[in-house]
Amino acid sequence: MELAYFNFFAKRAAFPRFKKKGNRDSFRYPDPKQIKLERENGRIFLPKLGWIRYRNSRLALGALRNVTVSSKGGKWFVSVLMRREVEQPLPHGPSTGIDVGIARFATLSDGTFLAPLNSFKKHEQRLAKYQRRMARKTKFSNNWKKAKGRVQRIHSSIANARNDFLHKATTQISKNHAMVCIEDLQVRNMSKSASGTLEAPGRKVAQKKGLNKAILDQGWGEFRRQLEYKTRWNGGEFVAVPAAYTSQTCPCCGHISRENRQTQALFACVSCGYENNADHVGAINVLAAGHAVLACGEPVQSGRSAKQEPAEATAQSIA
């Protein structure tokens, strides 16, 4: 605790938070000499607990450093930190730009796209039903604890489905592309409430609430975080570019106008008549901005020159 306060006053960490039962329950074994790991037999020896069987989610390679035991959604997990030397892989594949959205989760500059999972939306009604049941129970009673456990399991199921979807998507993209360009979106600002105050009430609050819920359900921030470290793991280049005007710039003539985005899905340039899916156009512009960042350090906001044709992209724990 003393070290936590020392780091806080040195502005190296946030204010220390005391552990509370039922909230991120976990503990760590920092001494590797007290731990025995039998990967072939699927069991681990922990001080004061003895031998415990576990299910391998992946192989633990290297020298054992420490072990963290945690509880989530009524299940216990053991995370093993290993240390080993790895060779820097060589990147392979084309470059790609990615535009994230609601109707299409991620659209690549080659025209392919990933459909959204909408994990929370699929379980929203069932979650609301059990939350109402929990609200009718006497707080901290045994029935209340049982109802709370059911709600927690639904939340855990939603999060697990979302994480599985994001890991599969980011792994596929990072392994098949040498350079990945993505919009530098400020998700926290984009998903702020529009309710306003009594003196200055917000406008279109219900529509903004639905948009915020959809953005958070997609997991844009986690998608970018995973994509960044996985691309660098695979030896590739990750570039985040400003999102301004990427959906309003014509990739053919470079004309920027709000009227170019006639509908949510259709892009039609009012200057040269170029038409395409709006998300695909955004991905092409993101890729062009990423090349500009690598070339001169500054992204271009005005698109390509008027003579240039529209270009397609040629571009783990143990549980």
Helix and strand element counts for the chain (H, E): 7, 13
Token pair 């994509």 in the structure block, residue: 227
279 part of the active site: yes
Strand ranges in the chain using DSSP code E only, listed in sequence order: 26-29, 36-38, 43-46, 50-53, 63-72, 75-83, 95-100, 106-108, 113-114, 179-183, 237-241, 266-268, 275-277
* SS3 (DSSP) at 186: coil
Of 25, 38, 40, 99, catalytic: 99
278, 264 Cβ separation under 8 angstroms: yes
Helix ranges, 182-244 (H)? 187-190, 205-218, 220-233
Q: What share of the chain is helix, strand, coil (3-state, %, to 5)?
A: 35, 20, 40
Catalytic residue among 2, 25, 85, 183: 183
- The question of whether 99 is a catalytic residue gets the answer yes
Give SS3 for 234. Answer: coil
Q: What whole-number distance in Å separates Cα of residue 215 and Cα of residue 208? A: 10
Q: Give buried/exposed letters for 125-139 (b at 16+ CB in 10 A, else e).
A: eebeebeeebeeeee
Q: Say if residues 174 and 92 touch (Cβ distance below 8 Å).
A: no
- Residue 25: active-site member: no
Cβ(158)–Cβ(115) below 8 Å = no
Q: Which of 228, 279, 309, 312 is catalytic?
A: 279
Residue with tokens 């359900």: 217
Residues belonging to the active site: 99, 183, 279
